[in-house]
Structures are given as C-alpha cells and as structure tokens.
Structure 1
Amino acid sequence: MHSLPVFLRLDGRNVILLGDGDGADAKRRLLERAGAAIVGEDGHAALAIVAIEDEAAASAAVARLRGRGILVNAVDRPALCDFTLPAIVDRDPVLIAIGTGGASAGLAKALRQRFETLLPAGLGRLADALHRARPAIRARFPDSADRRRAIDAALDPGGALDPFGGRDDVVGWLQEAGASPPATTLRIMLRSDDPDDLTLAEARWLARADTVFHDPAVPAAILSRIRADATIIAGVDGPRPASGVTIVLDAAG
C-alpha cells in the first residue's frame, strides 16, 4: 500500500493554495466545498496545494513549504507530493475516494464515473439512519461481535438494509431483527492464486469472517482479502470457535 487513505475534516481550517489557472481553480472549488479557509504562502496551515505551472517555481515553492513542516500536494507532479487528492464519489455523508498515487488521474476519474452510476443517490439517507440508531442498535445487540454480524447480514444483498435496494428503514429492521446467528463454518477451495478468481460470495465471506484457518500455501494476495481484525491461523486443523463465522481456506491444487 503506497499511501494511507484518510478523510480530513477541513471545515474552518487553513489550507495554503498557490498558483492560478484551471488547475488552481479546480483545487480551490474542492477546498471550498470541504469548508477549508484558503490562505496564501505566508499563512499558518498544515496542508498546502501547489498548482504552479512553471516547473522550477513549483519545485521551489514545494521546498519552502516542506521546510516549514507542511504537507504538500503538487498538482500533476506526483514525485513532489506528500499526499494526493482522490477522485470522489459524494453521497453525503458517504464518501468514496479513488486514488492511484498520482499514477493516472484519468483512471481515477473513469472509476469514479463507474461508481457514480452504481451507487444509489439516497445512499446517504441509510448512513444517517444507521447513525441515529446507534444507541438502539447497541441496546439490541450489546455484544460488539454480535452487533457487527447483525449489521453485516442486514446490509447483505437482499438484506433488510441492502444499500443497493433503496432500503433505509433501520427502525423496522431493529424491530424484526432476530437473535444472534449461530456459529457458521465454511470451507473455500481456491481455484487459483489470483484473488480476482474468488467469487463474489467467497470474497464477501472472507471480508466478514471472524476466524480463518488457511493452508500455509495460500498466497498473501488472497489472505489480504480477509477482514483486517479477523483471527488468522496457518493450518486447516484445530478446534473451531463456538461463535461467529469461521472459514477454512484450502490452497489451489
């Protein structure tokens, strides 16, 4: 992973913007949309965007700003960037950021356009409803693992809160939500070492697993698809957990 994706709250915070022309204007609109206060080079800020056309002038500005400990984005100059600005799909409060580390803004834009057509316009309403219901969800599912599994099941395709199904009745879901699901163990037989050969269902199970037993020959590219905080055990034998989702992952033959 070449960069750590983060979402910065810039409302009312200073950001230095240098340059003029279309590149600077585009970044100005983006910063204003995020609520940032745009200041000149002498301003106090933690971030700066340099949209200067001249190569030497841009490099000199980046050096001056870095000398003050400021993180810099240099437009169209990825080698000079401490951070990059992604293509954004906005379904407030849901934000999807697509970055290529400066390798190709065109590719990031193309991907953004695809996601724009896939994501429902009302997706933000579901996020807001889930946020408002957090106390009720915690009360209904006091155990954090049970709570996560219940939400995962509700958000699954065809689930009570399927985000692609236009469903946002969180209160109704809570009223009808059943007890915690029983322990589940699934075995996945890999067909190849390529993670793209995982079926959608297999990728979804790996992303929600609590415990994964895997053949030591399973490659890191496949293991990276497992939920980040899952328990991962090399070897396919051993006692199975009494709760949650357990996956047994066999290497390709």
Structure 2
Amino acid sequence: MILTGTGPAADAKRRLLERAGARIVGEGEAAALAIVADGDEATVARLRARGVLVNATDRADLCDFTLPAIIDRDPVMIAIGTGGASAGLAKALRQRLEALLPQSLGALATALAGARDRLRGRWPDAAARRRAIDAALDPGGPLDPFGDHQPGAVDRWIDRDGGTESPSELVSIRLRSAEPDDLTLRDARLLGQCDRIFHRRDVPPAILNRARTDAERMACDAPISGLPGLSVDIDWAGR
C-alpha cells in the first residue's frame, strides 16, 4: 500500500493501515493501492497512470475506492461507509456506536467460537441450536451483545440456561403499509428472528425481504400452530 503526504491526515491513515497489517511503501515502489493523504491531483494522476487504485483524502471525485470508519472489537469488526459522500457522517456514526458496544464484545465472539463443540453436543439439530443462540443474544438475554459480559459467560449460559428448549411460538403481524420503513421495531425484530413466515399472497415482497434469508416462507390463508421455534403470521391491512 502506497501512502503519500504529510501531516495529521497522513499520520492518521498510517495508524489505520498499520493496525490493519498493511505493508506501507513509498510512491516509487510497486503496489496495487494508494492513499494520497493530501489529495494532490498530480500525485493521483501519476499513480493512476501506473494502474494503481487511489484514495485521495477529502477528494471523493478523485477516489477509486473509499475507506470506511472502523469499530474494532477483535474479532468483531464493524465498517461504516458512505461511498465517499461524507467522511464526517461515517465518523459520527462510528463514535455513537463505539459508545454502545462494550469492550467485552470481542471476547464474547471468541468464547462462542470456542464453544462450538459444546453447542453442537447440546443441540445436535441445527435449527434448535440457532434458536437457542438467537434467544441468548436477544436484548436482555444472557448473552446480549450490548451487555458487559464477564469471562465464562458462554459456559455459564450453556450449563444453566442451555438446558431448556426454545418453545413454539406463533406471533401475528398486521402491516399498515407496503413500506418496510413503516415496520415497528417489534415487527422488524420478529422478522429478523423467525424460523418461518406464514403470509397472505399479496404481502409486498419488500416486507418479506426484511426476514432472515433462511426463514421458511409459506403463502397461505391461515397459519399452522404448534411448529417448533418462532413463526410469524403476516396479514396485509392494505388489501
């Protein structure tokens, strides 16, 4: 990765690249990507003439690629990009989210990875295992990712709360419009968690697309109760 320019902007880019493990070289050396930290048009032109893809700081019109704002909770990484529209907006969003995400989030992810064998042993059925993990990660759940978890939280959850099966549940959603943005927070959460969706045939596809991609979709006039996990029945008030 080529980095050109001096000053605070270049120093900030260097820290970001070094933290990501990039090998930083000068303009005269071979590289596929470059960051022109001072936005110099002549430097951009020289690099592009060599076939190098360029990011020019504060010059979206000169960028071949953009760099997102990063929230690092290793191994959890969250990237916020605006396609070069506003680096300030991406930074503001990063700062807000940084305040919400605990430092223990990375340790939680690592603990879940280390518990894979125990999870498979406890819930051999993949669907049951997913439902159990989803319930644990729910807001207020024992592994709520926005909570500050102490070491051993995952093992304690499996030992204590992992002994109960997720009950069957059928919840109804009645749409007020065809716009996904008009879904309530509750409706959006249910669609993101459900195992299957019963829906009338005229429910807008944009609404169904808000559900998990692996959720079973069944167009029907009436739902089936008693199925394992969470089922959502969608009715369309706009008919």
2:56 equivalent to 1:58: no
Looking at structure 2, the residues matched to 236 and 102 of structure 1 have their Cα atoms a distance apart, in angstroms, of 46
Specify the SS of the correspondent of 2:197: strand
Equivalent in 155, 161, 182 of residue 171 of structure 1: 155
How far apart are residue 40 of structure 1 and its match?
Answer: 2.9
The answer to whether the 8 Å contact 1:186/1:248 transfers is yes
Please, which runs of 5 or more residues in structure 1 have no aligned partner?
1-14
Report what 1:181 is aligned to: 166
Give the superposition deviation at 1:170. Answer: 0.8
Matched, 1:162 2:141: no
Q: Choose from 180, 200, 216 the match for 1:195.
A: 180
Note closer, same or farther for the CA distance 1:113–1:178 as it changes in structure 2 (3 Å cut): same
Report percent identity of matched pairs: 60
Residue 115 (structure 2) aligned to one of 109, 114, 133: 133
Query: TM (normalized to structure 1)?
Result: 0.79
Which structure: larger Rg?
A: 2
Rounded to whole Å, the distance in 1 between the matches of 2:223 and 2:144 is: 35
Q: Secondary structure at the match of 2:12?
A: helix
Which is further off, 31-40 or 115-124? 115-124
Cα distance change on mapping 1:218 and 1:107 into 2, 3 Å: farther
Give SS of 2:24's match. Answer: strand
CA distance in 1, matches of 2:62, 2:18: 23
Please give the root-mean-square deviation of Cα atoms over the aligned residues, in Å: 2.7
Cα shift at 1:138: 1.8
Match 2:199 to one of 214, 226, 232: 214
Q: Which moved more, 1:141-150 or 1:77-86?
A: 77-86
Deviation at 1:216, TM superposition (A): 4.5
Q: Report the 3-state secondary structure (helix = DSSP H, G, I; strand = E; otherwise coil) of the residue aligned with 1:151.
A: helix
The one of 14, 21, 35 equivalent to 1:35 is 21
1:80-159 alignment, distance < 5 Å: 80-159=62-141
Aligned twin of 1:223:
208
Matched-pair contact (CA < 8 Å) for 1:218–1:251:
yes
Q: Tell me, which stretches of 5 or more residues in structure 2 are unaligned? A: none
Contact kept, 8 Å, 2:39 with 2:56, in 1: the verdict is no
Q: Find the aligned partners of 1:234 and 1:22 in 2 and give their Cα distance.
A: 57
Greater alpha carbon shift after TM alignment, 93-102 vs 228-237 = 228-237
**What whole-Å deviation, never above 9, does each CA across 1:110-168 have from its counterpart, x for those lacking one?**
11111122222322222222222222112212222211111110111221112233235
TM-score scaled by structure 2?
A: 0.83
Q: How many residues were matched structurally?
A: 235
Q: 1:219 to 1:73 in 2, by over 3 A?
A: farther
Contact conserved, 2:169 with 2:226, CA < 8 A, in 1? no
Distance in 2 between residues matched to 1:232 and 1:82, nearest whole Å? 40
SS in structure 2 of the partner of residue 213 of structure 1: strand
Relative distance call for 1:215 and 1:47 in structure 2 (3 A) is farther
